[in-house]
Copies of this chain bind each other. A is one copy, B any other.
Amino acid sequence: MGHPYAPAELQLPGYVPLQLSQSQILAPYLGTSLLLVLAIWLVSGRCRGLSKIDRLLMCWWAFTGLTHIVIEGTFVFAPGFFRKENPNYFDELWKEYSKGDSRYVARDTATLTVEAITAVLEGPASLLAVYAIASHKSYSHILQFTVCLGQLYGCLVYFITAYLDGFNFWVSPFYFWAYFIGANSFWVWIPTLIAMRSWKKICAAFRAEKLQMPQSEGQRQL
């Protein structure tokens, strides 16, 4: 049985063809995500002292955390998803995404490693960030910064290894731009913006601490 992926010489013995359409795969993911974001937005409106940016960040961290754990986690812990006789929704999703990057069906080592780190470490840490923002924890910014750096390092490894390995893993330019570049770009620009914001907040906290210090030393001397 042949497969639709690139490069054509890729061997996928036992490949079971994709049965769901692109919209049957995208709609549940986008629909569920929208509901989740709406729910977090409404619930966070009842928390005390949260700015609109805090609430937007909570929506993002809930969305990205569940994507890491549920969607990417399924890939990590389901080797051979492409040859399952009765594929579930996630198996179908990864067969669809592989049209934009066949390293997923091929179970490329670097891709699997980045996905494993993302699903196991960054997923739970993203959900912790939702809680940290809601409860104004002192570790809120450094935690968000940590997850953003992990996501950015993961994207770097993901794109550089694709380049070094030949840059020929997509069925057509459409899938290259829509899946490989388009879908992943959200995990480049959003973490970049959040990391920059947290960096600035952290520097501001140290400047405030510095200003405060000579003052309290002065008070001690009185």
Contact = CB atoms under 8 A, between A and B. Distances in A.
Contacts of A140: 206
A139 B199 contact: yes
A145 B195 CA distance: 12
Given A138-B203, A199-B142, A205-B209, A117 B149 contact: no
Q: How many copies does the complex hold?
A: 2
Nearest to A153: B153
A165 B116 CA distance: 15
A160 B202 contact: no
Most chain B beta-carbon neighbours within 10 Å: one of A141, A154, A205, A210: A205
A88 interface: no
Contacts of A138: 203-204, 206-207, 210
A140 B116 CA distance: 31
The main secondary structure of chain A at its interface with chain B is helix
A113 interface: yes
Interface in A118-146: 138-142, 145-146
A146 B145 CA distance: 9
Contacts of A139: 199, 202-203, 206
Contacts of A165: 109
Nearest to A110: B110
Given A142-B199, A149-B149, A157 B208 contact: no
A153 B157 CA distance: 10
A160 B149 CA distance: 19
8 contacts: A109-B161, A116-B160, A139-B206, A142-B199, A149-B150, A150-B153, A202-B202, A205-B205
